[in-house]
Amino acid sequence: MGAADKWLLPLVSVSFVSLMLFLSALSGYSASSALFARLPPPSYVRRGAAAPPSFAYLLSGGRGDGRRLLRLLLAVYHPRNQYLLHLSADAPEAERLDLAAAVARAAPAITAFGNVDVVGRPAAGTPMGSSGLAATLRAAAALLRLDAEWDWFVTLSAADYPLLTQDDLIHVFSSVPRHLNFIDHTSDIGWKESQRVQPVIVDAGIYLAGRNQFFQSTEKRATPDGFKFFTGSPWVILNRRFIEYCIFGWENLPRTLLMYFTNVMLPLEGYFHSVACNSDFRNFTVNNDLRYVAWDDPPQMEPRFLNITHYEEIVESGVPFARKFREKEYLLDRIDEKILQRWRHRPVPGAWCTGRKRWFSDPCSQWSNVNIVRPGPQAEKFRRYMDRILEESKSSNSSCAQ
C-alpha cells in the first residue's frame, strides 16, 4: 500500500474502524473497503458519454458536524456517484471514527458499491487562509484516484441541503454539455480589493498541528497584473477536465495562482474563479453556482439562515441546492418529506431502489439497475432554470468578461 492510499477511513464495521485509521502519510488516501459485502460487477455502473452523468461530492464540516454530514450524505446519495466526507482537524478523532462507523451502517448500498470515504487525516479548520483550498484540492485529487470516470465535482458544506433528488439532478445534467463549469464569479471586486485581495495572510493550520489561527501582515501587496483577479461564491460545480487541469497543471497557470492564493484571506472565493477565467476554460464557465441563498440588505459576511418561511420560495427557485441551514431546522424535515420523500436515517429513494417502501423496511436495501433515473416534479423546474442560465451564458461573449 503506497503513501497515496493511506488518507481515508475505510467504511467497515465499527469494530474495525479504529484499526483501519491511517495517519502515516500527509498526502495519501485509502479507498473505501467493503470487506464483508459482495461488490456488483464493474459493468454494473455504466460510465462514459452515452451513460448518465455521475458526480464526485466533497461534503465538508467541522467540529460537531458529524451528524449533519451523515444526513447530507443520505440526502444526496446515489450508487453512481462518489463521496468524500471531510471533518476538519478541529473535530476530535472520536467524532471522525463515529462518522465513519455511522456511514458504514447507514445503507447497504454504501457498503456494496464502496463509493463513500471519510478523510482520516484532515486539514485545519482555519476560518481564513489557505487550509480550505488545500483541503479542497486534496479531496479533488483523492476523488480522481478513487473513481476514474465521474463528470462533475460538487462542493457542499454541512450547512447545505439538496432541493431535489439525485434522479432529478442526473436527469437534467444528462442534457448539459459535460465540459461546463458552474462558478459564480465577477472581476468587479470593489471594496474587496483592499480588504480581501491585497492583505497578506499566513495560515498557521497549514504547518502547525492543532492550530487554526491565521496571521496577517502589517503591509499589503499590490493587486496582481499578471492575471485578472476574479471572486465570487466559494461553492462550485466543476467539470472533471478542469479539476485535472488544476491538479496536474499541464500549464503553469494553476501553480502560479496557487502560490499567490496561498496568502489570500479567502482563497476559495477566488482561486477556481481566477484559474477558469484566465485560461481556455473561460468560455466554458457558467456564471452561476446553482445555490439558493438569502442575503440581508445590505449583504453581510454570511448569508441568512433559512427557515420554514422560505419553503415556497426555495421550491419554486428551481436550483438544486440551498444554504445555510441550522442543524435542527424544521425546514429540513419539510424538504425531506415533501421534496425528497426521504424517511429519517435512510437515503432518498430513486429508480435504483427496488425494495418495498414500508415504515420498517428501507426500499433502497434492494436495488437493480442504477443506470436509470425517475425524475420528479422538481426536475422540470430545474430543467427550466438550467435552460435559462445556459441561454444567458451563450448570449454573452464570455462569462468571464465581467
The residue that leads in pLDDT, 26 or 111, is: 111
Q: Is the pLDDT of residue 153 over 90?
A: yes
pLDDT of residue 19: 29
Written as nine digits, the cell of 249 is 497543471
pTM: 0.89
What range defines the domain where residue 360 resides? 53-187+222-393
Q: Are 161 and 310 in contact (CB under 8 A)?
A: no
Mean predicted lDDT score pLDDT of the chain: 85
Residue from 66, 58, 134, 125 nearest 96 by CA: 66
Residue 30 — very low, low, confident or very high, per pLDDT cuts 50/70/90? very low
pLDDT of residue 196: 75
Strand pairing report for 8-9 and 116-119: antiparallel
pLDDT of residue 161: 98
Kindly state whether residue 376 falls inside one of the protein's structural domains: yes
- 355-364: average pLDDT: 79
Lowest mean pLDDT, pick from 9-18, 62-71, 108-117: 9-18
The residue that leads in pLDDT, 188 or 97, is: 97
Kindly state whether residue 217 falls inside one of the protein's structural domains: no
> How many separate domains does the chain show?
1
Q: How many CA atoms lie within 13 A of 219 on its CB side?
A: 2
- 208-227: average pLDDT: 74
Kindly state whether residue 399 falls inside one of the protein's structural domains: no
Kindly provide the b/e burial profile for residues 2-36, where b requires at least 16 CB atoms within 10 angstroms of the residue's own CB: eeeebbbbbbbeeebbeebbbeebeebbbbbbbee
pLDDT of residue 141: 96
Kindly state whether residue 360 falls inside one of the protein's structural domains: yes
Kindly state whether residue 3 falls inside one of the protein's structural domains: no
Residue 217 — very low, low, confident or very high, per pLDDT cuts 50/70/90? confident
Residue 48 — very low, low, confident or very high, per pLDDT cuts 50/70/90? confident
Kindly state whether residue 24 falls inside one of the protein's structural domains: no
Kindly state whether residue 371 falls inside one of the protein's structural domains: yes
Q: Is the pLDDT of residue 168 over 90?
A: yes
Q: Are 6 and 28 in contact (CB under 8 A)?
A: yes
Supply the CATH number for residue 130's domain.
3.90.550
